[in-house]
Amino acid sequence: MRILALDHGTVRIGVAVSDELGMIAQPLEFIPAQPFADFLQRLKIIVQEKQVVLILVGMPRNMDGSYGPAAEKVREFVQVLKDSLLIPIKTWDERLSSTAANRYLIEAGMRRDKRKAKVDQTAAAIFLQSYLDSGAANNLLA
């Protein structure tokens, strides 16, 4: 029973998954955001293969905690997912996850061209790990 995290973007959607115990987040892959039907088909396959019990979608927030235009796009994305999938979907604050992901990949010595392909899934893993560390998943996986 795993939790899947999605870092929504207009070009790529980063995907990360927890281990079965809900303790460790791992980057999985990115899925092209368009065409959306192909994204949704791939997402359904991952959900089934990984036995996902919850999808966590990163909610972009401004540094003052307010929501901007990107948050509205994520809300629309979440609603489409809820209409298309039968498992629970929640949002989680993703502030600075992409910045942290880039910093991590730079420190790991990854070249810029390779970082671009990895940053979205790494960002998803970062905010998924934040969710797991918060204890919020304990009720779900208990």
Residue 2 confidence (pLDDT):
95
pLDDT at 140 (0 to 100):
58
Q: Could you give the CA distance from residue 119 to residue 123 in angstroms, rounded to a whole number?
A: 6
CATH of region 2-137: 3.30.420.140
Element (H, E) at 112: helix 112-134
Region 36-51: mean pLDDT is 97
Per-residue pLDDT of 90-105, as tens digits, reads 999 887 777 788 788 8
For the chain, the average pLDDT equals 89
The structure tokens listed for 60 are 């972009």
For residues 67 and 16, give the distance between their C-alpha atoms in angstroms, rounded to a whole number.
23
- Asked if 25 and 16 touch (Cβ cutoff 8 Å), the reply is yes
Tokens describing residue 11: 């070009």
Q: Where are the domains of the chain?
A: 2-137
pLDDT of residue 7: 94
Label residue 139 by pLDDT band (50, 70, 90).
low
Q: How far is it, in rounded angstroms, from Cα 4 to Cα 83?
A: 17
pLDDT digits (tens, 9 = 90+) for 114-138: 887 788 898 899 999 999 998 876 6
